[in-house]
Every structure is written in structure tokens, then in C-alpha cells.
Amino acid sequence: MEFEFTWLVVAALLILASVLAHLVSRRFGAPILLVFLLLGMLAGEDGPGGIPFNDAHVAFLVGSMALAVILFDGGLRTPIAAIRVAWAPALVLATLGVVVTAGVVALFLGLAFAMDWRRAMLIGSIVASTDAAAVFGLLGQHGIGLRDRLRATLEVESGANDPMGVFLTIVFVEMLRQNVETLSWSVLAQFAEQMGIGMAAGIGGGLMLVWLMNRLEMTGGLYPILAFAMAMLVFAGTQSVGGSGFLAVYAAGVVFGNRRVRALQLVGRFFDGLTWLGQIGLFLMLGLLITPSQLPAQAPAAFLVAVVLILLARPLAVILSLSPFGFTLREQLFVAWVGLRGAVPIFLALIPLVAGLDAGSTMLKAAFVVVLVSLAVQGWTIPFVARLLRVALPPTPEPAPRLDVDLIHQLDRDLIAYEVKPHSRATDWKLAELRLPDRVRVVSVLRGEQVLSPESLERLQADDIALVLTPPEHNLAVDRWFSSRFASTASDLPENAGDFVLDADHLVRELVASYGLAMAAEDMPLTLAQALHRRLGSAVGRGDRVRIGTVELVILDMIGDEVRRVGLILDPAPRGWRGLVAKFRRAPAP
């Protein structure tokens, strides 16, 4: 009994150390997942902790559950608008991109080490997938502002490419186990079957969870437990019938998170904590599984694989996948650099080890070195690369402090309590003139110890608590009204983001009159926002650029779907390779 409690104390201390390490890592900008991994190594048998752990089967089971939680939470927080604007490039990157990445790594291993092509493709498949936890976490940790479509592509791809990595890994493990030397076309049918079952199970499971949440009357604390159990059932059930459980659990999260559901805020907060616990436990466990003294034998070759992966395989895969979708070369290079490897490659490397392949242990150590290099090099330099490639947007307004109140799920309204901050947009107008979206109402205001009706107030003040009744589709727009004011000036913008900053309700003909620009006649009566919507349709996001006549407009600020501020570029440079050539030609001679 004492022995069991000793292990419980050790586990609690490791989790506590991880939480405290997170606070330290934020101050120094260190990738938090790398910190968790190093803590696990320090606690292992080669470190001061001296904890022996080498059970690959337990690691695989725990890792599967942790990744399922992380993917469900990622889907839960993916708005359908992000799927709508990024599904095509993200899907290509999550399928073709993974195959190209694995193929380039395999080609390198075959040429450099004369490795059997099946084993080379297995290693390439293990390291080809990006990691959802790493991408979600590090983009949030560094607070980097990106074009909406660019950010959505990165996040959706990282959540959707695990199934492809798992499928390829299992295919080549089975080829090596059965000593099969050629791929058959049946592999494509098998892939389509797994993805089809996974997508159907995910959508069905998500809708079933919505139905259960809205039909069952339970105490509040049981709703998150129900969601967790259903997510695990979708994942494990789909895997057991031959589908992709990882795709299913991510799809279930997307479906659930974009529906009207009772206790959605409770579920969201529960999974936020559960995801952090999953990340901490997963990386600590993977760190424990590795014996650092055994790494030097594989380190040189694995380091070369990491270099090829980061500098050649991933960039080539990204350029081939994203070029047809209008991403600039700078954006493609940034996507390539943010192809972070985290727990997924180490988890995939457990598959050949669990399957009993002779080289399983070697592959696990190689994958571990690749992950260390990726997190240390790429994870630490994301802000620098974003500035170097000039893809970072001006910072978004500070999020509005808010508290969501769960209402009866049949209502198509949310009740949200906002703390009005100094310099909030909501203080810019009189309360009666506040230009909130349709069907949004301020129903009450708490000022000090007083409860005031909106009709009795002229305007909101800092430190007020405003109770707002809003349809769910307007939540983000209302958030922006209660956030700190967006205060960009031309000097705050990255290079080429705009020679002038204009309100989006400026008429095009006013620009023509002011600057003598050549613009299309049909644009003359439109506002800048209308001209942008006319060309971009509903897929409008911060950072999107559109050429109109001889100028270029870049969207700097939005409230919901409404474009509010626009950068005007009078002399736009050519895009892509032509832009680089033009820049080279303009460079002064040494």
C-alpha cells in the first residue's frame, strides 16, 4: 500500500513541476512541450529521478487516449468558419503533404544509408505528421497574429494529418512483418475505407453527443464526463471496426463544438484542463520511456533526418500542396517552418516497437531525436521567422474578459457577462448608439454595487459589467466590441502592410479623388469593405490582400464578418517568385 502511494506522490510532484515549468517557459519563450519532455527525461532512469519505465504497450495505450483528448479538444475549438476557408488546402497538406514528406525522407535514407525502401518509408511516415498539440500550443503561446486563412490552414492540417501518418506507419509495419516487397492498389481502397468510416463515425458520434447532452437532465458536473466518455467511445469504437479513430474523434469535436449544446461552456473548460493534463502526462511518459544514454548511437543519423525534414522535405511538401491555393511564397515558407514535430512521431514510433519489429527500439530513439531538434529549433524560433518572412499581422486587441452563462439550450441566445476594460470599443459611443450586430442587446449593467438598466445610462464606463444577450453566431463580433481598441497606425504595421490605414467604410471614389488612382468603374460606388467582399466572397479574414486597379488593399481589422480597417498599398510588389526576382533586381550593387 505504501508503495502505491509513493508512486502517486511522484506523479503529483511531476505534474506540479510541469505546471510551474510552464510559467517559467512563458517568460523565456521556451517551447513548453520541450520542457515537459525534458522533465520526463530527468525523472527517468538516467536522470536524478531514477524512475525505470520501458513498457511500450502501456505507453501506446496512454498515448492513444491522450492524443484522442487533444484532438477532440482541437475540434471543439475549431469554428466551422475556419473549416470553410481552409478545408481544401488543409486537406491536401494533410494527405499529399504527408506522403511527399515521408517520400523525401525515405529517399534521403535510401541514398545516404542504403536502407531498404520499406524501412525508409516507415521512418519517413513516422516523422511526417505535424503535431496538433505543438502547433496549437506554440501559436497560442507566442501570440502571433496571422492571416485568418493561414492560421486556419495550420490548425486544421495539424488536427487532420494524424490519420494519414498512422495509416502509412501501419502499412509499412505490416509490409515488414509479412516480408511483402511491393505495394498493391488495394492500399488506396483501404485508406479510403478507413477515412470514410472515420468521418462517418465522427459526424455520427458528434451528433449523438449533441442529442444526449440536450436530452438528458443531469447535474452540471456530469455533462463533461458524458462528453469525455463519448469522445473515447467514438475513438476506440472507430478503431475497433477498422476506421480512423483519430479522424473520428477530431470530426466529433468539430460537430459538437459548432452546435447549440447544453453546458457547452462547462465541457469546454473541462477539456481545456484535460488537454493540458493529457499533454503533460503524454510528454512526461515519453520522456520517461527514453534512456538518454542510449541516444548517442542513433543521434548523428537522426539529426541528419531532422535537417532534411525541416529544410527540404516539409518545404517541398508545403509548396507542392499550397501553391494552387493562392498562398504567397512567404506564407508557404512559414507553414513549412511551423511543421512542428511533437508527441505524434514518438507515438507512431511505438507502433513498430509494439508490433515486435527488430528495429523498433532504434526507430523510437531516432524519432525522439527528431522531435527534440524540431521543438528546440523550430519551436523556439517561430516569432523570429514570422517577423523575418513578414507574415505576422499587427497584434489583435486584448480579449474581452467574459463569463458565459448557460441558458436553456433550445434558446438561440447566449448570455455573456463582459468586463468593460479601459479603451474598450464599447465606450466609444453612447449606449443607445452602440452599433452592435442585429439581435444583440445589453440587458443590464453592473456598476459598483448598483444594477442599472441600459435605458438609464448614457454610455458604458471602464470596470462596468455588461450583461449581453446575443445569438451564438455573433459571439466573436460582440467579443471584439468589448475588447481593447485596435489602435494600429502605419508605423505599427509590418513592411508592405499598408502605406495608409483607412476605415473600411471609405468609398472607392473618395480614394480615386484623393490619390488619383486608376480603379474599375464598377467599384466606384462601393465602400472598401464592399469591394473586398465582392472579390473574396464570404471567405474574408484579417491579412487577406486584394488588388483593385493599381493598388492593393490588405484587411487589418474585422469585427465578426465586418471589415473595419484596411491598409492601402500604393505600389504593390509582385507576388511569389516574381516578387523575389524583382526585389533582387532592385537591390543596390555591392
Q: Using one digit for the tens of pLDDT, what is the confidence trace for 47-79?
A: 888 888 888 888 889 889 998 998 899 888 888
Q: Compute CA distances 24 → 32, 36, 44, 291, whole Å.
A: 9, 12, 22, 25
- The grid coordinates of residue 31 equal 517551447
Which pLDDT score is estimated for 394? 58
- The grid coordinates of residue 194 equal 478507413
The secondary structure of 5-64, three-state, reads HHHHHHHHHHHHHHHHHHHHHHHHCCCHHHHHHHHHHHHECCCCCCECCCCHHHHHHHHH
Domain-located, residue 257:
no
Of 288, 289, 283, 284, the closest CA to residue 361 belongs to 289
The stretches in the chain having pLDDT less than 50 are: 486-496, 576-590
Domain-located, residue 393:
no
- Dihedral, CA of residue 484, residue 486, residue 491 and residue 492, to nearest 10: 70
Residues 140 and 285 in one domain: yes
Which pLDDT score is estimated for 589? 39
Q: Are strands 500-503 and 545-548 parallel, antiparallel or unpaired?
A: unpaired
Q: What is the pTM of this model?
A: 0.76
Beta carbons of 548 and 519 less than 8 angstroms apart: yes
Residues 294 and 163 in one domain: yes
Instruction: Indicate the residue among 418, 452, 482 that finishes a domain.
Output: 482
Of 169, 491, 101, 465, the closest CA to residue 309 belongs to 101
Beta bridge partners of 414: 470
Domain-located, residue 215:
no
Residues 158 and 282 in one domain: yes
Beta carbons of 130 and 378 less than 8 angstroms apart: no
Beta carbons of 131 and 342 less than 8 angstroms apart: yes
Which pLDDT score is estimated for 332? 93
Residues 350 and 417 in one domain: no
Which pLDDT score is estimated for 112? 93
d(CA 316, CA 318): 5
Beta carbons of 260 and 409 less than 8 angstroms apart: yes
Residues 360 and 443 in one domain: no
Instruction: Indicate the residue among 482, 515, 537 that finishes a domain.
Output: 482
Spatial neighbors of 428 by CB under 8 A, at least 6 apart, are: 485
Which pLDDT score is estimated for 584? 43
Residue 122: phi, psi to the nearest 5?
Answer: -65, -45
Which CATH number characterizes residue 581's domain? Answer: 3.30.465.10
Domain-located, residue 183:
no
Residues 433 and 506 in one domain: no
d(CA 417, CA 466): 6
Residues 477 and 516 in one domain: no
d(CA 44, CA 20): 19
Which CATH number characterizes residue 313's domain? Answer: 1.20.1530.20
Residues 294 and 356 in one domain: yes
Residue 539: phi, psi to the nearest 5?
Answer: -85, 65
Which pLDDT score is estimated for 92? 94
Instruction: Indicate the residue among 455, 482, 509 that finishes a domain.
Output: 482
Instruction: Note the Cα 363 to chain centre separation in Å.
Output: 27
DSSP labels, 107-118: HHHHHHH---HH
Residues 506 and 563 in one domain: yes
Q: Using CA of residue 143, residue 279, residue 63, residue 351, what is the dihedral sign?
A: positive
What spatial distance separates the first Cα and last Cα of the chain, rounded to whole Å?
76
d(CA 134, CA 109): 26
Residues 551 and 577 in one domain: yes
Domain-located, residue 471:
yes
- The domain of 139 spans 2-47+79-177+273-388
Domain-located, residue 27:
yes
Residues 288 and 381 in one domain: yes
d(CA 488, CA 412): 35
d(CA 82, CA 95): 18
Domain-located, residue 91:
yes
Residues 467 and 365 in one domain: no
The secondary element (H helix, E strand) that includes residue 403 is: strand 402-405
Helix (H, G, I), strand (E, B) or coil at 569: strand
d(CA 544, CA 527): 17
d(CA 567, CA 524): 18
Give Rg (Cα) of the chain: 26
Which CATH number characterizes residue 440's domain? Answer: 3.30.70.1450
The secondary element (H helix, E strand) that includes residue 470 is: strand 465-470
**Structurally, how many domains does the chain consist of?**
3
- List the helix and strand counts (H, then E) for the chain: 22, 9
Question: Residue 121, class by beta-carbon neighbours within 10 Å (0-12 exposed, 13-18 middle, 19+ buried)?
Answer: buried
Q: Using CA of residue 203, residue 205, residue 207, residue 210, what is the dihedral sign?
A: negative
Domain-located, residue 225:
no
